[in-house]
Amino acid sequence: MTRSATGLPLTRRRALGLLAAGSALAPGLAGASFVNFTGPPTLDDAVAIGQMPDVFGRLPRVPRVVELTQNGHQPGRHGGTLRMLIGGQRDVRYMPILGYSRLVGYDAKLNLIPDILAGYEVEDDRVYTFHLREGHRWSDGHPFTAEDFRYCWEDVIQHDELGGMQRELKAADKGPRFEVLDEVTVRYSWDDHLPDLLPGLAAPVPIRLFLPAHYMKGYHARYTPAERLEELAKAERVDDWAALHMKMSRFSRPENPDLPTLEPWRPRTKPPAQQFVFERNPYFHRVDENGLQLPYVDRVLLNVSSYEIIPAKVATGESDLQPVALDFADYTLLKEAEARYPVSVSLWKRSQGSRVALIPNLTCGDAVWRSLLRDVRVRRAMSLAIDREEINKVLFFGLARESANTVLPESPLFRPEYATAWAVHDPDQANALLDAAGLTPPALDGFRRLPDGRTAGLMVESAGESTLETDVLELITDHFRQIGIALWTRVSQRDLFRSRIMAGQVTMSVWMGLDNALPTAEMPPYELAPTADDQYQWPQWGVHYMSGGLQGHAPEMPEVQELVGLVKDWRETSDTTQRAGIWHRMLQIQADQVFTIGTVNSAPQPILARRNLRNLPQGGLIGYVPTSLLGIYMPDTFWLGPEG
C-alpha cells in the first residue's frame, strides 16, 4: 500500500498523474484565483538591472499556494520590518524554527503536508519517494535539485569525517538505499520500517537530507584542493576541512550569510554582532491565494540583549513580535505597555506536558535514593504531596491546568485519567505510602530518615534559566515538609547541569514536562521511554538505547522494559489504530508509574506584537515540538497593516 502526501491510499500511477496535474500534490494550486504572480517592490530595482529574474523566474513552476482566507486570515501586502529581542548571539537559531520551511511540515491542525516538496509517496513506512518542485531555487538563485540530496547522502552522510549517518536515518541499525530517479525525484528505501522519518523532517531542527551542493563543494576535500581548504579553515579559525565544512553548512544556527537557504528570510549578518539582519529570500517557494510571493515582511531584525532585561525592553516598545524570552510573570508589565505603545499582548498556551516538573533520576549514583526512587510508592507519594491548586492560583492566577505530566486535551490521545492519576493533593495518602515504603516516621525536626540514617532530604538541581522554577520549588518545599521530606535547591549552568545528571550526581532535577504534549498516533512516542541521553529521569538507560548498547546500561525495571518494547512495536506497525493503542498503553504506564512529577500544564504564555501585525492568531499553542514556536502558524504570512 502506498500513502500519498495527504495520507490517503494511492496507486503510484495515480500519484504521479496528480503530481503532473499540479493538484493533489500541490495543495491549493487548483483552486487559486490568481492568474499572475506578484513580487515584492523592494526587489524591483534588482530585477530592472538584471541582478535577478522577475518573480516568474524566481518561483517554482508549481509554487506552494497558501489559502489564507480559507483559514480565517487575510491576504496581505509586501513591506516592512519586524524587530525581535534575543538573549544572545546563539539565539539566531530561532529564525529557521520560526520560518519553518520544511520538506514536509505540520499545518496549524498538526496534519503533515508537503511544503518544499511538491509531493511524496510512502510505501509501508519503508520506501519514501520525494518529488521536488520543478524550478525551485536556493536563495542565491541556483537550482534546487536532486543533486543537493545526492551530495548530502554520498559526500556528507556517508563520509566518516563529517559525522557519519544520523541514527534517525537508521532502521534496525541499517541506513537506507538512496536513488536519484530524475532531476526532481529521489527515493530512500529501508528493509525495515522507519515510520518516524516524516515527523523527523517536520521537526524544529529537521533531519538533514539535502545541502546546497554548488556552495558546499567549495569546502569539501573531494572537490577543493587541500591548500585552499587549509586557507579557508585558518580564516574561519577551525582545525581542519571537516570542521570547516560543518561550520559553513550549519543551517540550525544561520550565522553564515553566504550559505544558500530555502527559508523565508536569509541571514545577512556574520557574528559577532549586536543586531542580526535577515532579509527576504527572493526565491521563496510560497505564494498567497492572490499570487503575491511570500514572505510579506521584507526584513527581520534580531537585537541582542540579555534575558533579564528583555521583558522591560519589550514593554518599552523595542520589539514588534516577541514569542520568546517572556514568561507569565511579565504579563502585567506587558499589558501596561499597551496604553503607551502601539502593541498588543495575547495569552497563548504552552504545549509542554508540564510547565514545571520534578524529575527523579532513576539511575542516580546515590544507591539509597536510587532504590527509593525506583519504588513507585515513593514517586506517587511525592506527586500526591504537591498542592497543584496552590501553584496554579499563586503563580498563574488560576489560568493554567492542574495536571500530571501528560498530553494536553488538544491531543487526540488525551484521556482525563492520565491528567489526574496521582495528581490530587492528598498528604495523608502520601504519608501512608512513604510509611509502607519503609521510611521512618518524621522525627522531632519534622523529617523522616532514610534507611542509612540520613535525613530524608532531596537536593533538586536546576539550570537556573527561569525564576518560575524557583517560585514553584518554594511552594513544593512546603508541600514536601508535610510528608517529612526536606527539599533544597542548587542552581548550575545548563551544560554543567546536564553533565552532572549524566554522571549520576543529581538525584532530582527540575525541568519542563513532555516536550511534545500534542502528539498524534503517527508521531513517535520516544519521550515516553528511555531513548535519549537528555531524558533526566533515566539518562543511563537512555544513552544505552541511543548508543545501541555500547554505553550506559539497560533498564532493570519491568515497566520501563515494557516501554522500550512498545517503542519497538510502534516502529514495526503501519496501522494507525495499533499505533494509537501503543500510545495509550505507554501513557497509562507513565500515569500509573509517575516517572516524572508534573504540576500544571496549558500554562499561559504572553506574546507581544505590533497592533497592526496581521494574521498572528489571538491565541494558540506554542512550544518547541511540534509547533516550532510559531512556525506552524506561518510567520511568512504575517503582514503589517496601516498604523492606528
Q: Would you say residue 32 has pLDDT above 50?
A: no
Do residues 384 and 430 lie in contact, with contact meaning Cβ atoms separated by under 8 Å?
A: yes
pLDDT digits (tens, 9 = 90+) for 248-269: 999 999 999 999 999 999 999 9
* Confidence (pLDDT) at 199: 97
Task: Quote the cell numbers at residue 74.
Answer: 487575510
What does the alpha-carbon distance between residue 253 and residue 97 come to, in Å, rounded to a whole number? Answer: 10
Which triple of cell numbers denotes residue 273?
554582532
Q: Which of 161, 495, 123, 514 is nearest to 354 (CA)?
A: 514
**pLDDT tens digits for 479-526?**
999 999 999 999 999 899 999 999 999 999 999 999 999 999 999 999
Cα gap 183→213, rounded to integer Å: 14
Please give the pLDDT value at position 9.
Answer: 36
For residue 44, the SS3 value is: helix
Per-residue confidence (pLDDT) for residue 349, from 0 to 100: 98
- Predicted local distance difference test score (pLDDT) of residue 152: 98
Q: Order the strands of the 275-280 sheet from edge to edge.
A: 81-86, 299-304, 275-280, 265-267
Quickly state the pLDDT bin for 27 (edges 50, 70, 90).
Answer: very low
Residue 327 Rama label (left phi>0; alpha psi -120 to 50; beta) = beta
Q: Is the pLDDT of residue 22 over 70?
A: no
pLDDT digits (tens, 9 = 90+) for 551-583: 999 999 999 999 999 999 999 998 999 999 999
Confidence of residue 5 (pLDDT cuts 50, 70, 90): low
pLDDT in the model for residue 14: 32
Question: Between the CA of residue 162 and those of 157, 235, 483, 546, what are the distances in Å?
Answer: 7, 20, 53, 19
Q: What is the pLDDT of residue 643?
A: 84
d(CA 319, CA 173): 47
With CA atoms as reference, report the closest residue to 509 among 499, 521, 519: 499
Lowest mean pLDDT among 20-34, 66-80, 433-447, 475-489: 20-34
DSSP string, 299-337: EEEEEE--TTTHHHHHTTT--SEE-SS--GGGHHHHHHH
| Residue 644: other Cβ atoms inside 10 A | 6
**What order of strands is seen across the sheet that includes strand 343-350?**
321-322, 604-610, 343-350, 621-622
pLDDT in tens, 526-536: 999 999 999 99
Whether residue 131 is predicted with pLDDT greater than 90 in this model: the reply is: yes
**What percentage of the chain reaches a pLDDT higher than 70?**
94
* Neighbouring-strand partners of residue 302: 84, 276
User: In the prediction, which pLDDT does 160 show?
Assistant: 87
pTM over 0.75: yes
Contact of 404 with 594, CB cutoff 8 Å: yes
